Amino acid sequence: MAAPKYLLAALAGAAILRGHVVSMSTGEIRMDGPTATFELHMPMIELTHVAHPETDLLDHIRFADGHRTKSECHQEDGTYVCHAEYEFPGLHPNALEVECTLYQVTVPNHIHLLTAEQGPNSDQLVFDQTLTEGEARFHPPSRAEKIAKETAAGAKKAGESAGGLLFLIALALASRTKAEAGTLAVVFLASEWVARPLGARIPVAFTARFFEAALALTVAYLAVEILLLPEGRLRWLVVAVLGICHGLSFAGFPPVYLAGAVVVQAILIAILAAAALKVPHSWNRPAAAALLVAGLGWFGFRMWR
């Protein structure tokens, strides 16, 4: 079982070579009639790639038709803090459109959590490289609507991950019976939830490109497990460890995002496992070999391009 050990070592070693798991900043905008004040908090560690943080950061977050009239930035206890004032040509009593592209000047996996307030009403938005535009509502939607919105965003994020989709195919192929398919699915989905509290405690970070590459490597690892240990009894343990790697990609998002992703993943696993169990057993090894090639190929592509 040397090959899987080397793959797992490569995954762990690559993680150490690339920064922290969750790159995150927070902001708060307070609307007051046709004016607003905005405060941005960015950990100093996130400014490594920012040439001119005093201008670059604020230039990458825009509020509808607001015009920035004043700004000032300074370092404060390991945090870079920016204060800015905005004027609007008209009132925005119901909602405020926001565009945030901070990932372009920090790191590709950067997440920005924005709170928007107007009087007693407030809303919260999350931005990353896949969610760059949003609308803060000052007459907030119901809790059910908010949950539905965030769940849909998480589902979309899960569906756009090539490494994640390849892993679900490998997971289905690894299932030898219906009972095992159910067990592996439960273990994988539960492991993603376990990763949430772990994300904030891991002192290393992945770029978005590397994170996708790492997920592709989990595909290769599981494919090797299928090839070299076709009757292995600890497959559920392997899936548990790899599931944590996948869950880390949601560690910086609110829990509802992961809930949306889990729903999509559960549906896909059910469909893929049902199909895989109908395929002749003799096809398993060629299919696993193909997944191994695909996983390693995607890993190399995302690491070096």
Under DSSP, the state recorded for 141 is P
Report the alpha-carbon distance of residue 264 to residue 86 in Å, rounded: 40
Residue 17 is assigned to a structural domain of this protein: no
Q: Give the pairing type, strands 79-87 and 61-63.
A: unpaired
Higher pLDDT, 271 or 10: 271
Instruction: Say whether both 110 and 224 belong to one domain.
Output: no
Instruction: Say whether both 65 and 129 belong to one domain.
Output: yes
Report the alpha-carbon distance of residue 266 to residue 187 in Å, rounded: 11
Residue 294 is assigned to a structural domain of this protein: yes
Report the alpha-carbon distance of residue 18 to residue 41 in Å, rounded: 23
Per-residue pLDDT, 160: 75
pLDDT average, residue stretch 221-232: 87
Residue 13 is assigned to a structural domain of this protein: no
Instruction: Say whether both 162 and 65 belong to one domain.
Output: no
Per-residue pLDDT, 84: 97
Tell me the average pLDDT of the chain: 84
Report the alpha-carbon distance of residue 225 to residue 220 in Å, rounded: 9
Residue 66 is assigned to a structural domain of this protein: yes
Per-residue pLDDT, 200: 64
Residue 172 is assigned to a structural domain of this protein: yes
pLDDT surpassing 50 at residue 15: no
Instruction: Say whether both 122 and 207 belong to one domain.
Output: no
Instruction: Say whether both 129 and 222 belong to one domain.
Output: no
Name the pLDDT band for 232 (thresholds 50, 70, 90): confident
Report the alpha-carbon distance of residue 84 to residue 72 in Å, rounded: 6
Per-residue pLDDT, 18: 40
Instruction: Say whether both 130 and 163 belong to one domain.
Output: no
Last residue of a domain, one of 90, 105, 140: 140
pLDDT average, residue stretch 157-174: 85
pLDDT surpassing 90 at residue 210: no
Instruction: Say whether both 167 and 298 belong to one domain.
Output: yes
Strand partners, 85: 37, 70
pLDDT surpassing 60 at residue 78: yes
Cβ burial of 160 (10 Å; 0-12, 13-18, 19+) is exposed
Instruction: Say whether both 173 and 264 belong to one domain.
Output: yes
Instruction: Say whether both 227 and 108 belong to one domain.
Output: no
Per-residue pLDDT, 209: 66
Instruction: Say whether both 275 and 206 belong to one domain.
Output: yes
In degrees, rounded to 5, the angle at the alpha carbon of residue 47 between the alpha carbons of residues 42 and 49 is 145
Residue closest to 150 by CA, chosen among 9, 271, 23, 262: 262
Paired tokens of 270: 């059910």
Q: CB–CB of 173/226 below 8 Å? A: yes
pLDDT average, residue stretch 162-174: 88
Instruction: Say whether both 52 and 164 belong to one domain.
Output: no
Provide the domain limits for residue 275: 158-304
Residue 150 is assigned to a structural domain of this protein: no
> Which of 5-9, 105-109, 137-141, 145-149 is least confident?
5-9
Residue 9 is assigned to a structural domain of this protein: no
How many folded domains does the chain comprise?
Answer: 2
pTM for the model stands at: 0.56
% of the chain exceeding 70 in pLDDT:
88
Instruction: Say whether both 172 and 111 belong to one domain.
Output: no
Last residue of a domain, one of 92, 107, 140: 140
Residue 180 is assigned to a structural domain of this protein: yes
3-state DSSP call for residue 284? helix
Please report the sign of the dihedral spanned by the C-alpha atoms of residue 131, residue 65, residue 92, residue 31.
Answer: positive
